[in-house]
Structure 1
Amino acid sequence: MSSRKRGMQKMPKAQPIKSIESVASGAFSPLSRRRVLLGLGGSSALIGLSGCGGLSLTGDTELPPENAVGQAVLLAPLTGPRASLGQIMLAAASLGGNATGPGAEVEVVDAGDSPETAVAAAQKAMDGGAKMFLGPLFSGQSRAVAEAVGRGTPVVSLSNDSSIAGDNLFVFGITPQQSAKSILGFAATRGKRNVVTVVPPGPFGALSAQAAQSVAAATGGTAPAAIVASSAAGLIDKIRAANGGALPDAVYLPVVGGPFEEQAAAIKGVGIQLLGSEQWASITPYRIDALQDGWFAAPDPVRFEAFATAFTAFSETEAGVLGGLAFDAVEMARILGRIGQQNRKGLLREAGFDGVVGPYRFQKDGQCARGLAILSVTTGANNLIGSTGA
Structure 2
Amino acid sequence: MLRLARSVGLLSVASSVPLIAAPRVNREPVAFLLPLTGASANLGLSMQRAASLQLPFGGKPVLATAVDTGTGAALAARAAIKGGAKMILGPVFAADVRPVLAEAAGRVPVLSFSNDISLYESGAFILGITASQLTTAILRYGRQRGLRRIGLLAGEGSWNTQVAAACARLQGELGYELVPVARPANLAGLGLELGRLAGGAPDALLVPDNAAVFVEAARGLAGSGVQLLGLMQGVDYAPAALQATAGAWIAAPDPTAFGTFATAFQAQHGGTPGTIAALAYDAAGIVQRLRTQNRISRAGLLAMEPYRGVTGTLKFRSDGSCVRELSILVAGPDGYQVAAASASA
TM-score using structure 1 length: 0.75
Q: Find the aligned partners of 1:285 and 1:375 in 2 and give their Cα distance.
A: 16
- Indicate whether 1:251 and 2:205 are aligned: yes
Q: Does 1:308 align with 2:262?
A: yes
- Structure 2 residue 55 is the aligned partner of structure 1 residue 70: no
Residues 1:356 and 2:310 are matched in the alignment: yes
**Aligned-pair identity (%):** 34
Whole-angstrom distance in 2 between the partners of 1:368 and 1:275 = 23
Paired with 2:279 and 2:126, the residues of 1 have a C-alpha distance of 11
Report what 1:147 is aligned to: 102
1:1-390 equivalent positions in 2, closer than 5 A:
69-95=27-53, 98-100=56-58, 104-112=62-70, 117-225=72-180, 227=182, 232=187, 235-236=190-191, 239=194, 244-256=198-210, 259-281=213-235, 283-284=236-237, 287-288=240-241, 289-349=243-303, 351-388=305-342, 389=344
Structure 2: distance between partners of 1:274 and 1:190: 13
The CA deviation at 1:190 is 0.9
Q: 1:118 to 1:245 in 2, by over 3 A?
A: same
Superposed displacement of residue 234, structure 1: 6.3
- RMSD of aligned residue pairs (Cα, Å): 2.6
Question: Does structure 1 retain, via aligned residues, the 8 Å contact 2:132–2:166?
Answer: yes
Q: Quick one: distance in 1 between partners of 2:191 and 2:89? A: 43
Match of 1:3 in 2: none
Whether the 8 Å CA contact 1:295–1:377 is kept in 2: the answer is yes
- Equivalent residues of 1:286, 1:377 under 8 A apart: no
CA contact (8 A) 1:70 1:338 kept: no
Distance verdict in 2 for CA 1:268–1:119, change over 3 Å: farther
Q: Distance in 2 between matches of 1:147 and 1:375?
A: 40
Q: 1:219–1:350: structure 2 CA closer, same or farther, 3 Å change rule?
A: farther
Report how far residue 99 of structure 1 moved: 2.4
2:17 is matched with which residue?
none
Following the alignment from structure 2 to structure 1, what is the Cα–Cα distance between the partners of residues 260 and 276? Answer: 15
Question: 1:41-66 deviations in whole A, cap 9, x for unaligned?
Answer: xxxxxxxxxxxxxxxxxxxxxxx98x
Q: Is the 8 A contact 1:285 1:291 kept in 2?
A: no
User: Alignment length, in residue pairs?
Assistant: 322
CA drift at 1:240:
5.1
Give distance in 1, aligned partners of 2:51 and 2:188: 45
8 Å CA contact 2:27–2:63 kept in 1: the answer is yes
Write the letter of the residue equivalent to 1:132: M
CA drift at 1:146: 1.8
Deviation at 1:301, TM superposition (A): 1.8
Match for residue 61 of structure 1?
A: none
| Higher RCO structure, 1 or 2 (CA under 8 Å, sep 6+) | 1
Residues 371 and 202 from structure 1, CA distance in 2 versus in 1: closer, same or farther, beyond 3 angstroms? same
1:152 positional shift: 4.3
Gaps of 5+ in 1: 1-63
Structure 1 residues 86 and 102: alpha-carbon distance in aligned structure 2, compared to 1, 3 A threshold: farther
Amino acid at match of 1:210: A
Superposition TM-score, scaled by structure 2 size? 0.84
Deviations 1:13-60 (A, max 9, x none): xxxxxxxxxxxxxxxxxxxxxxxxxxxxxxxxxxxxxxxxxxxxxxxx
Q: Secondary structure at the match of 1:348?
A: helix
1:101 deviation in Å? 6.7
Structure 2 gaps of 5+ residues are: 1-22
Q: Which residue in 2 is equivalent to 1:43?
A: none
Aligned-partner Cα distance in 2 for 1:98–1:235: 51
Aligned-partner Cα distance in 1 for 2:245–2:299: 43
The structure with the larger Rg is: 2
**Matched residue type, 2:151:** V
